[in-house]
Amino acid sequence: MKSDITKVSAHINPNEALIFERSQTGRVGYRLPPLDVEEQTISDLIPHQFLRDDDLDGVPEVSEVDVIRHFVRMSMWNYSIDQGMYPLGSCTMKYNSRLNEKVARIAGFASLHPLTEAEDAQGALAVIHQLQLDLAEITGLPGISLQPAAGAHGEMTGVMIIRAFIDARDGEGGSAKRRTMLIPDSAHGTNPASAHLSGFSVKTIRSTAEGLTDLDHLREVCAVGDVAGLMLTNPNTLGLFERNIQEICRIVHEAGGLVYMDGANMNALVGIARPGDMGVDVIHLNLHKTFSTPHGGGGPGCGPCCCTKELEPFLPVPRIVKEADNYKLDFNYPKSIGRVKAFFGNYGMMLRALAYIQTHGNDGLREATEAAVLNARYIARGLTSDYDKPFDSPPMHEVVFTDKRQSRKGVHTLDIAKRLIDYGFHPMTIYFPLIVQGAMLIEPTESVGRQELDQFVEAMRAIAREAVEDPELVLNAPHDTRIGRLDEAAAARKPVLRWKPRQAATTA
């Protein structure tokens, strides 16, 4: 059944129970030096009613080798970038350099306390400052804060900056009339959620049949006079560059609003074009996408917020500034939206991102962008014969297809994605963007070569054939994984969100 499959990963199937089910009373996996001060009766130090009395019941008791085997076995159930192409659209799953990991583990950074006096942390602050300069250059937006911990956090920061700017510009009465944030129907769900946190209500902007922002609709909505801003992803989530971006910015600006750009797709632009030159006022970046810091199975991220000179006074504090040859924390920004996170943000990610920028060099950054776009173009060309491509324009770094043809045989996007697992690939992003029915959003990144692209195209074509010849095979995929498709509906109806000892579970 898989004669023409060239890339097949054997999914390893060791059984591994939950650690709580492995626990053995009295086992330990650690050793501390003995206490070297006179031990006092603990209840003499802390009154009895404040002390724990459950002896940490249920917390596992295992040896070190138990722990290692437990996690190594579990790790084998994961797909990862290091195994192969991970074409999740809008997620930019590119290679995570080991060198960057090494940099983040240098003791002088890893052991540095965030409340160290600035004069004793000059190297750490210099890294922040250099990354600020580089990201400002890459985006063309000079104001910058690295404090936000992830993309959505950077969005929240950016939208709060817009709110603060409008509050300051229009005064309380004027600002109260501007509570509308415009968001295209193709946007990430985090956009409206972030806008809501700043007290904005959301109005949706339609996309044209061509897959771009509908300028007429934008003009119409802007004419109402209540617009605070527009949140736009560019290239958008269909993988298309909004070629009217200057006109879009002009319309929003003339209506008294600001333009926020979701930088999730910056991997299509680095070294090629800069949001600041397009008229964008504020943007967030995802260092865990464009700048290759590892996704870690769901974080940590880092979501720097970059803005124009005009918006700079509103950035979170403290700002990291350079005075003469000295780096310092500057809290003196009375218009600041405030602090969005304790300390300075996800510093370890900043080290990795700076290492990425420096090892690529300026020409390498541009070349990476070129390769990312070329790879997506190559896939677009390779799959057009077998899959419906809803938008004609050539894509940037990611391309969207649909299940239109396959669904006639009852095979849907989810099935195609699951079948792709049998071919040794991680599936693409599915059912996003929401405006494309049965969307499959494919982003190969620059980290795959032609051979693997060919294998991917070949696998997708084979699935298209299977959808016609043997739909059951696709509908029941994946076949080789540790578990089959899980009943997610049942899981949500009666959620079991933690392990409990058996007898407790039956009474609960």
Binding to other proteins (CB under 8 A) within 402-421 occurs at 417-418, 421
DSSP string of 244-267, one letter each residue: THHHHHHHHHHTT-EEEEEGGGGG
- Indicate whether 209 belongs to the interface with other proteins (CB under 8 A): no
- Indicate whether 488 belongs to the interface with other proteins (CB under 8 A): yes
**CA angle, 347 as apex, 342 and 348 as ends, to 5°?**
135
Backbone angles phi and psi of 196, in degrees to 5: -60, -35
Q: Identify which of residues 273 and 471 has a Cβ nearer to other proteins in the complex.
A: 273
Q: Identify which of residues 170 and 370 has a Cβ nearer to other proteins in the complex.
A: 370
Q: Identify which of residues 200 and 408 has a Cβ nearer to other proteins in the complex.
A: 200
User: Measured between alpha carbons, how far is 399 from 433 in angstroms, rounded to an integer?
Assistant: 11
Q: How many chain residues touch other proteins (CB under 8 A)? A: 189
Q: How far is the CB of 399 from other proteins (least distance, A)?
A: 11
- Indicate whether 216 belongs to the interface with other proteins (CB under 8 A): no
Strand bridging mode 227-233 / 143-145: unpaired
User: Measured between alpha carbons, how far is 267 from 270 in angstroms, rounded to an integer?
Assistant: 6
Instruction: Evaluate whether 178 touches 228 at the Cβ level (below 8 Å).
Output: yes
Instruction: Evaluate whether 232 touches 184 at the Cβ level (below 8 Å).
Output: yes
Q: How far is the CB of 186 from other proteins (least distance, A)?
A: 13
- Indicate whether 113 belongs to the interface with other proteins (CB under 8 A): yes
- Indicate whether 171 belongs to the interface with other proteins (CB under 8 A): no
Question: What order of strands is seen across the sheet that includes strand 201-205?
Answer: 143-145, 305-307, 282-284, 258-262, 227-233, 180-184, 201-205
Binder of other proteins out of 298, 324, 325, 502 (CB under 8 A) = 298
Instruction: Evaluate whether 89 touches 398 at the Cβ level (below 8 Å).
Output: yes
**Footprint (CB under 8 A) of other proteins, residues 467-486:** 478, 481-486
- Indicate whether 366 belongs to the interface with other proteins (CB under 8 A): yes
Q: Identify which of residues 194 and 406 has a Cβ nearer to other proteins in the complex.
A: 194
Binder of other proteins out of 3, 342, 392, 502 (CB under 8 A) = 342
E-state strands within 308-398: 319-323, 326-330
Amino acid at 366: R
Q: How far is the CB of 185 from other proteins (least distance, A)?
A: 11
Looking at the chain, how many residues does it have? Answer: 508
Residue 218: which of 188, 192, 189, 249 has the closest Cα? 249
Which contiguous run of DSSP H or E holds residue 440? strand 439-442
User: Measured between alpha carbons, how far is 64 from 178 in angstroms, rounded to an integer?
Assistant: 58
Applying CB under 8 A, which part among 11-19, 221-229, 383-391, 437-445 lies near other proteins? Answer: 11-19
- Indicate whether 433 belongs to the interface with other proteins (CB under 8 A): no
- Indicate whether 53 belongs to the interface with other proteins (CB under 8 A): yes
- Indicate whether 224 belongs to the interface with other proteins (CB under 8 A): no
Applying CB under 8 A, which part among 130-138, 254-262, 306-314, 463-471 lies near other proteins? Answer: 130-138
**Footprint (CB under 8 A) of other proteins, residues 225-264:** 240-241, 243, 245-246
- Indicate whether 266 belongs to the interface with other proteins (CB under 8 A): no
Applying CB under 8 A, which part among 198-206, 216-224, 306-314, 405-413 lies near other proteins? Answer: 198-206
Q: How far is the CB of 361 from other proteins (least distance, A)?
A: 3
